[in-house]
Chain A
Amino acid sequence: MSADSPEPPDAGSSSTESRTAIHRAEDRAGDPLVSVRDLKKHYPVSDGLLNRSKSYVKAVDGVSFDIFPGETFAVVGESGCGKTTLGKTVARLYGATDGTLTFDGRDVTELEGKQLRRLRRDVQVVYQDPSSSLNPRRRIGNIIREPLDVHDVGTKAQRRDRVAELLRMVDLPVEFRHRYPNALSGGQKQRVAIARAIAVEPKFVVLDEPTSALDVSVQAKVISLLDDLQDELGLTYLLISHDLSLVKNVADRIGVMYLGNFMEVADSRALFRNPLNPYTEQLLSAIPVIESHEQSLKPTAVEVQGETPDPQNPPSGCPFNPRCHRRFDACDAVEPELVEVEPGHLTRCLHTPGEKREEVRKALPDGVSFEERDGTLTD
């Protein structure tokens, strides 16, 4: 899970060498564990008398990506960009409005009943706020045992042993099984939530802002625990976060999300070294850093403009165009597609560099010019 450490946990294979580009290409030659194609999740918003006119918030609007076994794929974006909805839809907690979701080679988009329950053994979720994701009236031991009960794993005695084992795995004292969540600190509660998620030996875990509610000194411990568990159990993670510095250090690949869609998808290193999308540039240049040599790793300061628009009323053309510092006249006329510019590096922008540029732009209607507007917000 840590892309930058010298010996990254290469959970897919036993190799401990540094992950090189070639290495990753090999990894990717295998079959993806999770495959998302054109996934959409729209929420109806009713307004008007008798709920006649219905509009939609397109929380996730046509997202496609693959996650390979043993990999950590991170989704970053600002609040309201749809990252949590994406996570929950991929975990099949929400049904998709459209698109397909393949898990381990099987189409699971329409699964129901028993089969869906079977899928839940393989797919687990860790939520942001452990205080609300743990039942305050149940003891820790029962909370961790619940998935084992639901999926009918082992005998009663085996389940009890398993709870003790799980507590040890997340570095909590076994006596904690008798306590209630309110007797635990935030970091300890999140460890319990992690223990519950890995109880049924899932293959794939969706981590929805797993450390956002924690202080940094505690966050570091929880992150290294997740890292170790990924190593030990060969887990595949979908990490949802707004913290770019964190994501840089733990994710193998990153998708930058904005208003329900990916703006850029790339290898963690490539994204930070060479951000292709103006939105990524703005995000990166806004990170508050604490070391002076970190500054040199950020793109040159870009003045950030405006805020995320109302998702019910997205701007026409490229969703990011009203805030973009590289805006053309054409940007509010056409919505660019996500294209692969370099192997594994995709971006959605009319400014796409290199040979793909023409391909992106040929879809432009006649009479749309390429006059570059100045970087200031015009309205």
Chain B
Amino acid sequence: MTGSLLDVHDLSVSFDTYEGRHDVLDGVDLTVNEGETVALVGETGCGKSVTARSIMGTLPRPPGDITSGEIRYDGADLLADEAAHERVKGDEMSMIFQDPMTYLSPVYPVGSMMADVATYSGGRDASWWEILKNLLGHRADREAIRERSVELLDRMRIPDPEGTLDRYPVELSGGMRQRVIIAMALINEPDFLIADEPTTALDVTVQNQILDLLRERVEERDLSMLYITHNLGVAREIADRICIMYAGEIVEVGRTEDIFDAPLHPYTRGLLESIPKLTGFEGTGIDGQIPDYTDPPSGCRFHPRCPAAMEGTCDVEPVEEYAVGDDRTVACHLYEDGMDFEDAAAIAADEATYRGEDAQPAEAGVGGER
């Protein structure tokens, strides 16, 4: 595919623990095109963060072990070429984390941390001579970095950016800390951002502000972003495309509006139905729980929880990604490769439904409201 910046192909990751070998990621395919925001959506323990860490090269190995697959960034194979990985993650990628208090040091003021990121970024290690040189510092350099930091904080709409540089993280509110984290991620002008649940710890009103800022920055600088979240509402606000992940497998990929208009994979459908909406709430949920990775289900990993599971097929044959319509793939035996989108939508509506006999029809809540 042309224009793809990040290409993850058939990535499998396992973890060795005392309980045995956990086969967490199972052949993950993921593409982020230039200037595109892709949301990776899934529930707790589905492997979202493991995917992000593999891309960022921060997967702890051991216990983690990349058993197969490749990660290509701008053509360079990152897993095969460690030097390229170091260079790419230093110069071109940045990551925004969920909980700023864990990633900001409590003992340094914000300004000093930002200066460190700006000075040492891209380097694997620094010699004593370099550190000494930086400590004594060229005044001009330091001023320049400080100016840049102020400008970035100002862009993140932090009131009193000068003063904030001299404050410690504990003196800032949750939303302000998250803004600082984003500013730090942007200080070296990356091309590619990985945001791992950056708004999950925040209140809705603050979450909205952060999402707006992030979107603004991404558009302004034409960044590409992989946005990881468990919240489909947030994914809908920020992403161009959405990948739905379940138990270490990408089950469905499509343009944001397509996924919400006509979800195909039974898991996506269940997830969407489980969310309480302003128009009503069916409360059906999905039976069961995420499988044990030491002994994942054979065939499709979702089949034990799937309402449309076909005996003899879903529990035996491994699923492949089928292209349905344009720009849409779904990993489910209900569909066939190259199928028309309309046909697929009809199958989804017929087969992949969660409503039991005792459940109320979906439209009822809406009717009562309007």
Interface positions of A (Cβ within 8 A of B): 2, 4-7, 18, 78-79, 185-187, 215-221, 223-224, 227, 242-246, 248-250, 269, 272, 282-283, 285-294, 297-298, 304, 307-308, 379
Partner of A4, one of B209, B233, B369: B369
Q: How many Å from the CB of B4 to the closest CB on chain A?
A: 27
**Closest partner residue, chain A, to B280 (CB atom):** A4
Given A217-B43, A287-B233, also A242-B204 (CB < 8 A): yes
Contacts of A272 on B, CB cut-off 8 Å?
278
B313: CB under 8 A from chain A? no
Q: List 18 A-B contacts (CB under 8 A).
A: A5-B364, A79-B203, A187-B289, A215-B43, A216-B275, A218-B285, A219-B274, A220-B276, A221-B283, A249-B283, A286-B204, A286-B208, A287-B278, A288-B233, A288-B234, A288-B236, A304-B205, A307-B203
Bound Cα distance A287, B203 (Å): 10
B105: CB under 8 A from chain A? no
B66: CB under 8 A from chain A? no
Tell whether, in the assembled complex, residue A288 and residue B207 are in contact, meaning their CB atoms are under 8 Å apart: yes
Bound Cα distance A289, B278 (Å): 8
B367: CB under 8 A from chain A? yes
Contacts of B159 on A, CB cut-off 8 Å?
379
B294: CB under 8 A from chain A? no
Tell whether, in the assembled complex, residue A290 and residue B277 are in contact, meaning their CB atoms are under 8 Å apart: yes
Contacts of B368 on A, CB cut-off 8 Å?
4-6, 18
B308: CB under 8 A from chain A? no
Tell whether, in the assembled complex, residue B173 and residue A221 are in contact, meaning their CB atoms are under 8 Å apart: no
Contacts of B218 on A, CB cut-off 8 Å?
none
Bound Cα distance A2, B276 (Å): 11
B237: CB under 8 A from chain A? yes
Q: How many Å from the CB of B20 to the closest CB on chain A?
A: 16
Most chain-A CB neighbours within 10 Å: which of B230, B260, B285, B286?
B285
Q: A-B pairs with CB below 8 Å: how many? A: 148
Tell whether, in the assembled complex, residue A220 and residue B277 are in contact, meaning their CB atoms are under 8 Å apart: no
Bound Cα distance A308, B203 (Å): 9
Tell me the chain B residues, 173-190 only, with Cβ under 8 Å from chain A: 173-176
Contacts of A246 on B, CB cut-off 8 Å?
276, 281
Tell whether, in the assembled complex, residue B43 and residue A216 are in contact, meaning their CB atoms are under 8 Å apart: yes
Tell whether, in the assembled complex, residue A218 and residue B271 are in contact, meaning their CB atoms are under 8 Å apart: no
Most chain-A CB neighbours within 10 Å: which of B232, B271, B276, B282?
B276
B360: CB under 8 A from chain A? yes
Tell whether, in the assembled complex, residue B173 and residue A217 are in contact, meaning their CB atoms are under 8 Å apart: no
Tell whether, in the assembled complex, residue A78 and residue B204 are in contact, meaning their CB atoms are under 8 Å apart: yes
Given A227-B283, A286-B208, A288-B236, also A215-B365 (CB < 8 A): no
Q: A216-B274, A216-B285 are in contact. List 4 more A-B contacts (CB 8 A).
A: A220-B275, A286-B204, A304-B208, A308-B173
B113: CB under 8 A from chain A? no
Bound Cα distance A307, B274 (Å): 30
Contacts of A249 on B, CB cut-off 8 Å?
276-277, 280-281, 283, 365
> Top 8 nearest A-B pairs by Cβ distance?
A288-B233, A220-B285, A249-B281, A224-B283, A221-B285, A78-B203, A217-B286, A220-B274
B223: CB under 8 A from chain A? no
Tell whether, in the assembled complex, residue A291 and residue B260 are in contact, meaning their CB atoms are under 8 Å apart: yes
B145: CB under 8 A from chain A? no
Partner of A290, one of B173, B203, B233, B365: B233
Tell whether, in the assembled complex, residue A288 and residue B203 are in contact, meaning their CB atoms are under 8 Å apart: no
Instruction: Digitize B229-249: 1 where CB-to-A-CB distance is under 8 Å, 0 elsewhere.
Output: 011111011000000000000
Q: How many Å from the CB of B286 to the closest CB on chain A?
A: 4
Contacts of B273 on A, CB cut-off 8 Å?
220
B279: CB under 8 A from chain A? yes
Tell whether, in the assembled complex, residue B289 and residue A218 are in contact, meaning their CB atoms are under 8 Å apart: yes
B206: CB under 8 A from chain A? yes
Bound Cα distance A285, B207 (Å): 12
Q: How many Å from the CB of A176 to the closest CB on chain B?
A: 14
